Amino acid sequence: MQRLRVLAEQLDVVYQQISEQYSAYQRQRELFCRSGCGECCLHPGIEASVLEMLPLAIKLYDEGRAEQALDDIQQHQKAGCFLYQSFSEDGKQGQCGSYAHRPAVCRLFGAAGYTGREGQVELSVCKVIKADHPQALKDSLIALESDPPPMIRHGKELVRQVDYELGGRNLPVNDAIKQALEKVLFEGYYASMTEPEPVIPLADPLDYALPA
Ligand code: SF4
């Protein structure tokens, strides 16, 4: 369990670094996300590694909510990410239920770079941002060489470097959350017999509200 805690702490440092770097590019190029938009959280193709979900799983474990969260995710039937809290009928307006512990994928996308077929830098921009900021998109494409975007693969590699075993395989995001919870519960069970009890922080009421 101690090893998982160390990995989660290392990951928090990397998360901070990539969040600042990728958000700075979006801000600087004025490729802003639409306020309250949750379309990316509904996408069926969101993937994360078990490693990426460890900080959330450990937080829930320390608050005594990991088993409940595991039950909830096993019964989750809605489209998109388990953590997404939608506010509109069509589901497109909403927010992340655990923004501080979101995985790397949610920090890297929006507007970031990828390598095209010929090895050239291309700009990946979410379709909502494209529609909202056509001029900023045009300017960003013109400035691609002089002001290159941070590359998605660099961010992913920084995360993977924390632990290649747990970070090497991407899964659908809900499976990654589930497996991270199972891992933490499993290791926590054995640690409870051999390691001293951790200091349990107070639950943050704004972070991951279990469904009623
Ligand atoms: S972790 Fe949060 S930001 Fe990422 S897809 Fe899920 S709800 Fe959206």
Residue 12 lies in a domain: yes
Whether pLDDT at 206 is above 70: no
pLDDT at 129: 94
Whether pLDDT at 203 is above 80: no
pLDDT at 204: 58
Per the CB < 8 A criterion, the answer to whether 103 and 173 are in contact is: yes
Residue 211 lies in a domain: no
- Type of residue at 175: D
Q: Supply the residue whose CA is at minimum distance from atom 8 of ligand 1.
A: 41
Look at the block and give the residue holding tokens 């054995």.
Answer: 190
pLDDT at 212: 42
CA of 88 from ligand 1 middle (Å) equals 16
Residue 97 lies in a domain: no
Q: Supply the residue whose CA is at minimum distance from atom 2 of ligand 1.
A: 96
Instruction: Calculate the alpha carbon distances from 152 to 72, 123, 197 in Å.
Output: 31, 10, 38
CA of 85 from ligand 1 middle (Å) equals 9
Whether pLDDT at 152 is above 80: yes
Tally of structural domains, the chain: 1
pLDDT at 201: 61
Residue 207 lies in a domain: no
Residue 200 lies in a domain: no
Domain boundaries, position 121: 2-35+45-79+104-194
Residue 85 lies in a domain: no
Average pLDDT over residues 112-131: 92
Residue 7 lies in a domain: yes
